[in-house]
Amino acid sequence: MRERLQGILGEEVIHLSRLSGGCVGEVYKAVTVGGAVVVKVDESPTPKLDVEAMMLQRLAERSALPVPAVLHVEPGLLVMEMLPGRSVFSEAAQRHAAELLAELHSHGAPAFGFDQDTLIGGLHQANPWTDSWIEFFAEHRLRAMGRACLEAGRIDVALFERLSRLASELEKVLEEPAQPALIHGDVWSGNVLSDGAQITGFLDPAIYYAHPEVELAFITLFSTFGEAFFQRYDELCGIEPGFERRREVYNLFPLLVHARLFGGGYVQSLTGSILTIESHLARQ
């Protein structure tokens, strides 16, 4: 790998070390005379690091979100700029994150989805252009990832059928947004870097055009940011009343993703969330 990277970078690789993180393949730090880069390697039968590179490039082209520059890409190899910072967020950094995501969410599209399918945690994420947000979220997020969990043996038929019935009743809980918004799609703390008061990078995106509340809900699920973030985002964009209830529905999707990837406690959390939403719908 060292020789291959030297050919790509045109510089001697002085040191190569493994980094933590990454649901797909292995991640390395390569140090050259000119600095350091991040290297992802996917030796699976169907590598898709070119999709990750595409998403980073689209974010760089279409928004002000700080993302690593793509230096070289093949389906099985991705070389990127190494951004400074770490995943620790002061209140000032959280406010900066809110400003960056508010700007990202200002970029719209004629419909929900994307011009090609993307990935989340290495899993396929279908993005057919769809006029209705509720229809898109029901079919291409909840039911699609539910089927993936069912086929992988993570959930049983009974739980999938409950999920599917719930997806048929989303119009009782969710609302159509004013317009589709470009989202990062995977904003947990490990995918964000900061340095003091500034956010220095967003990593590993799972982009598509969506209701921006789905991004905000994901942030609450893993406590990526706290009150300072939400206060600033509300100042800039407004958060509609009732978000606390809707976020439970939106977070079914990341729970499905994690249930598919890891099983275990995420399946229990998914089951509990479905029960809570079913109870709320029954009272309406």
Burial (CB count within 10 angstroms: exposed 0-12, middle 13-18, buried 19+), residue 94: buried
Sorted by sequence, the CB contacts under 8 Å of residue 85 that are 6+ apart come out as 193, 194, 195, 198, 199, 200, 201
Percent of the chain with pLDDT over 90: 93
24 phi and psi, to 5 degrees?
-120, 120
What is residue 284's predicted lDDT score, i.e. its pLDDT? Answer: 76
Predicted pLDDT at 51: 97
SS3 assignment, position 231: helix
Cβ atoms of 118 and 97 closer than 8 Å: no
In Å, how far are 37, 232, 246, 249 from 72, measured between CA atoms?
11, 36, 40, 38
The CATH number of 2-81 is 3.30.200.20
Task: Tell me how far apart the alpha carbons of residues 145 and 160 are, in angstroms, rounded to a whole number.
Answer: 10
Bridge-based pairing state of the strands 77-81 and 70-74: antiparallel
The pLDDT of 163-189, averaged and rounded, is 96
Mean pLDDT confidence for 17-25: 76
Other beta carbons less than 10 A from residue 254's beta carbon:
24
Distance (Å, whole) CA 96 – CA 202: 12
In the set 42, 131, 186, 195, the catalytic residue is: 186
What interhelical angle do 213-221 and 252-262 show, nearest 10? Answer: 50
Rounded to the nearest integer, the mean pLDDT of the chain is 96
Fold classification of 91-283 (topology level): Aminoglycoside 3'-phosphotransferase; Chain: A, domain 2 (3.90.1200)
Task: Give yes or no: 186 in active site.
Answer: yes
Q: For 139-160, what is each residue's pLDDT tens digit?
A: 999 999 999 999 999 999 999 9
Tens of pLDDT along 250-273? 999 999 999 999 998 999 999 999
pLDDT at 283: 84
Per-domain residue ranges of the chain: 2-81, 91-283
As given in the structure block, the two tokens for residue 155 are 């959930």
Rounded CA separation 129/111 (Å): 6
The per-residue pLDDT for range 214-263, each reduced to its tens digit, is 999 999 999 999 999 999 999 999 999 999 999 999 999 999 999 999 99
Give me the mean pLDDT over the 55-84 stretch: 97
